[in-house]
Amino acid sequence: MCPIQKHIEILKYQQKNRNWRGYIVPGPNCTTIGLVTTLKPLLDAYGVDIVSMVSMQSLSGAGEKGLRVDSDYRVNALKNVIPLIEGEETKVVKETNKILGKIVEGELIESSINIHATCTRVDVEIVHTEAVHLGLSMSASIEEVRDTLNNYKSEAQELKLHSVAEQPIMVLDGDAPQPKKHGNYPKMITLVGRLRKNSLFKNGVSYVLTSDNLEKGAGGGAV
């Protein structure tokens, strides 16, 4: 059986195949990184067969045009929901399965999760919100899912890297998470709330997450 390698090891194959001395590491989509953060521990523990996600993405995700107060884009977004972000849904589907895939002898074997995404823009400056509905490969109680998310530690936590959150995922109760309150927590944390059963999918689970699209998405995602 071929050994499974860490994603970072594909760089040596990139250098060899292209005869490069350096390398290129693309940053992941800022919406994808929040979703993947929560899917990874569930995929490892139970398997994930299907995901339906609706994003409510902040204006800062659109770059300069989203933050400049006099731009046509910003004016149109005021007190509004823009129901389409061109190209975003394709990125979420493709990148999620790539990031959750495995590297085997320099080849990326993508994950096979059936993913459907609807990406919208909302009148919020910073922090993306996502409503996630998924079907696990095996049965798990909501208490077990909560513990799996809360107790997850990635290699970044094990190495105690200074830029990461000590607890990468935190499950909250009540009317949480909210973009306005996300700033009360470490920037690199992904907050999860509204955790509950979903009767539409086999072994279904639903939740809402918030993820800082600048600090964690654009800045820290690739790291």
Bond preceding residue 26 cis, omega within 30 of 0: no
DSSP assignment of the chain, as one string? -PPEE-GGGHHHHHHHHHT-SS---PPPPHHHHHHHHHHHHHHHHT-EEEEEEEEEE-GGGGTHHHH-TTSHHHHHHTT-EE---TTHHHHHHHHHHHHTSEEETTEEE----EEEEEEEEES-SS-EEEEEEEEESS---HHHHHHHHHT---HHHHTT-TTS-SSSEEE--SS---HHHHTTS-TT-EEEEEEEEETTSTTEEEEEEEE-IIIIIIIIS--
Rg of the Cα atoms in the chain: 18
Closest by CA to 42, choosing from 216, 190, 173, is 190
* Catalytic (active-site) positions: 30, 128
